[in-house]
Structure 1
Amino acid sequence: MLGSAAQNVVALSDSVFLFHLSEEDFAAIGFVGVFYLVIAAIGYGFSRGGQIMIARRAGERELTEVGRTFYAMVYFEAALALLMFLFMQYGCYYFFGLFVNSEVIFEKSLAYLSTRSWGVFFSYVGVAVIALYTGLARTSFIIVDTIILGAVNIALNYGLIFGHWGLPAMGIAGAGLASTIAEVVAFAVFLVYIFFDKKARAYRLFRLPDIDLALIRQQYKLALPIVAQSFVGLGSWFVFFGIVENLGERELAITNLVRMVYLILSIPTWGFASGVNTMVSNFIGQRKRQAVLPIIWKTAKLSWLTTMLIALPVVLFPHELLYPLLGGEDMSLISAAQPVFYVLVGILTAFSVGSIYFNGMAGTGATFYGLIIQTVSAVVYLGYIYSVVNYTDWGLPWAWASEILYWVVMMAAIFWYLRSRHWHGLEV
């Protein structure tokens, strides 16, 4: 769960500290934070293609192919990171101009990316390492590394945002720099772990292979629909924040608060989703297709139950449970967000089940079909949001209800596909 939500942990830490800096900074990190999550999701999506292939090779007991698959993923992720870095450094000024009306939000968003963009190299190669150990079902150290990532980010956020411990007070740019340094440290720790991992030799991780373009193309073909799915999904969320920003900085701040709570409460589902992806692919590699649907259903039930256990107390008592994070004299933002928190229960119900089925379907190799249904769902989602914000006075709760509509449309198509057995003939 923690490994899959590493970027969520970083985004949460940045948001909490900037909440205490100013409402403008908090609103800005809501906008630019979602943008960076889209960037991170692109790298994560490509790693999922490699993860599915690694899990399949492990299920087939072809351990020597694991290393080749891993390095093909690393080579591609490194090249992709360079492209994303150049875009964030030189293209976002013009890109943000298409969405942002507030000059304050615009300038603070660019300040954040000026330091945050350097972390994309370590983020992209890091998710390749996470994909390796998740695909091999050896996830214990991912927990340790993610805790280190979060701890370093929290400490540096405290120092670099406010200027404590003799560090410069950089504001929102300090949050970006803190997150980048935390990713560098987490990546270095992972390298040390791999060096001392005795099983790594069986996977040929210490033998740097030549660039295998055929294998990279195979991963690219498998992963591209997953990346497009992430881009469509989180990209739609980014557009949602852009639409809400037009309502004013106060509404954007409320939406960012709800997003922050959503990120916390969605962590269990991210973990279960990554796990079911690996399990489905591994069982198919063992020629046990009859186990796929029961695995997905059981995982969905676990995901929903775990999510509700942590979500209901937060939604029902937000002032009491969020005060340790957001405590201050002015708690009006939490009061203003209370109606949206009630909607969040329905969102999390749909998300915790729908995401498991979606990732289970991806584990079968049906990534292109996943792209089609997610694109259709996103079109419905954005059409609904645009109509509610621009043509009604229903407010933020009804705008956020679009998330429920999105997952209902998704789940209807996924259920039909999995029961149709079309995925039985797919090869990875």
Structure 2
Amino acid sequence: MPIMIGSAVQNLITLTDTIFLGRVGEIELGAIGLVGVFYLMIASIGYSFSKAGQIMIARRMGAQELDKIAPIYYSMLSFALSLALLLFLFMQFGGDYFFALFVNNQEIYTACIAYLDYRSAGIFFSYAGVIIVALYTGVGRTQVIIYNAIVLGLTNMVLNYGLIFGKWGFPEMGIAGAGLASTIAEGFAFIIFIVYIFLDKKNRAYGLFGHKALIEYTRSTSDDDTVHLPPPPPKINLEIIKAQLKLSMPIVLQSVVGMGSWFIFFIIIEDMGQTELAISNIMRAVYLLFMIPCWGFASSINTLVSNLIGQNKSEEVFQVTTKTAILSFAVTMICTATMLIAPEIVLRIGTDDLELIQKSIRLTGIVTATLALFSIGAIYFNGLVGTGATKQALWLQIGCVIFYLTYIYVVVHLFKCSLETAWMAEFYYWIISLTTSVWYLRSKHWQNIKV
């Protein structure tokens, strides 16, 4: 559960923003669909980079090389914050030009920029936060992640209500208020993380507070008073950063390609009309909600697979991945069943507009079938990533995305098909992803990859 929640923090923030903005108007609902996916794409870059560190930390834990964890963590953190600065500058000074290239509706464009102006500063807290999540996930101590996510979620909900609608003495800011609320919530959650790290004595086992603290901790937990550990490499190590980049770049590109294709999907849907965009954003909110269990299992399998390989148990990788996929499918389908039983209630997540809800119901069957495939396919794909075969996973995803974008363009622009037909792109995408991931994982070509 902690990993499940922690891995979906950005999805939860976007979902919360969507829920509140769905009560403001169709323009705001359509805008958050576009700018929300755009910000998820930016946030996924940092999250994907942290996955490399998580895999490396889990591998060191499996090999019981605890003194090597701190250099991995600090190197990962320093690079992530540098990257956050570059992306913040891009969003602040290039965001309006970027959206002008794609968004045709002037009202939706203005709303997107209003949100982004306040949301962009959150990238620093987001990137630093996912690095901390990677540390605790990699070492298998995840309880703090769920506490932090609860604090973030509650803070975001309270501030969203106050800043969007002008309650409790806050100014009425509309969609801009959603951006500001999310940024403040992330900042507050980050402070909680920092306090916990300093209070958590077990972090001394990883060398986070220096070599002397590591030796003292090791002596306190050992009967041997003569414990002497080799001096660790510098906390910020360029060689480690290079290794992380080598491992993470394919994962980062996977996220950019994957989230970028989703952004393009919504851009194409906007060409179908404002109502179609609003309907798609309602379904996106539902889609994000029911994705949460699977994202948790997917993050877990990254760590499990890497840890097994670190223990020289590569023969168990496919079996463990399959068991995780079955569990992910079962949990996801139990949750998704509510959408088939009471679609009108579930779709109220995105809006109170009864007309939009009725028009959205026709997509529930497609989304349910897609979630079934996703709950299995994402596990096998992330199991493959956990082996360190990130380049191979990237090429598999690029192939899936090429088909995905070609399909959307053809059915919307050439054949003028319905919204249901356009959404089938997600279904076909996960069929291809599942098939190729299982094939490569079973091939065992990944067994000689070093991390």
Aligning the two structures, in what range does the TM-score lie when normalised by the shorter sequence? Answer: over 0.9
Give the letter aligned to residue 290 of structure 2: L
CA distance in 2, matches of 1:227, 1:339: 34
**Who is 1:296 aligned against?**
321
**Who is 1:309 aligned against?**
334
CA distance in 2, matches of 1:222, 1:122: 23
**Who is 2:429 aligned against?**
406
**Who is 2:262 aligned against?**
237
Q: Deviations over 1:366-386 (max 9, x none)?
A: 000000010011000000000
Match of 1:386 among 388, 391, 409: 409
Pairs within 5 Å for 1:63-212: 63-207=66-210, 209-212=234-237
Greater C-alpha Rg: 2
What are the ranges of 5 or more consecutive residues in structure 1 without an aligned counterpart?
none
Give the letter aligned to residue 33 of structure 1: G
> TM-score, normalising length from structure 2?
0.93
**Who is 2:366 aligned against?**
343
CA distance in 2, matches of 1:140, 1:60: 23
CA distance in 2, matches of 1:346, 1:296: 21
Give the letter aligned to residue 130 of structure 1: V
Q: Is the 8 A contact 2:250 2:393 kept in 1?
A: yes
CA RMSD after TM alignment: 1.1
Q: Deviations over 1:248-282 (max 9, x none)?
A: 11111000000000000000000000001100000
**Who is 1:416 aligned against?**
439
Q: Deviations over 1:159-182 (max 9, x none)?
A: 001111111111111000000000
> TM-score, normalising length from structure 1?
0.98
**Who is 1:256 aligned against?**
281
Give the letter aligned to residue 29 of structure 1: I
CA distance in 2, matches of 1:76, 1:20: 39
CA offset at residue 394 of structure 1? Answer: 2.8
**Who is 1:38 aligned against?**
41
Q: Deviations over 1:327-361 (max 9, x none)?
A: 74x31111111111110111101111010000000
CA distance in 1, matches of 2:351, 2:48: 36
CA offset at residue 207 of structure 1? Answer: 3.0
CA distance in 2, matches of 1:134, 1:49: 12
**Who is 1:60 aligned against?**
63
CA offset at residue 316 of structure 1? Answer: 3.5
Q: Deviations over 1:128-159 (max 9, x none)?
A: 00000011111111011001000000000000
Of 333-342 and 176-185, the range deviating more from structure 2: 333-342
Q: Deviations over 1:364-421 (max 9, x none)?
A: 0000000001001100000000011112243111111111111111222212211111
CA distance in 2, matches of 1:415, 1:320: 36
Residue 335 of structure 2 aligns to a residue whose secondary structure is helix
Give the letter aligned to residue 320 of structure 1: I
The alignment status of 1:5 with 2:8, answered yes or no, reads yes
**Who is 1:357 aligned against?**
380
**Count of matched residue positions in the alignment of Structure 1 and Structure 2:** 426
**Who is 1:371 aligned against?**
394
CA distance in 2, matches of 1:320, 1:285: 46
CA offset at residue 326 of structure 1? Answer: 5.4
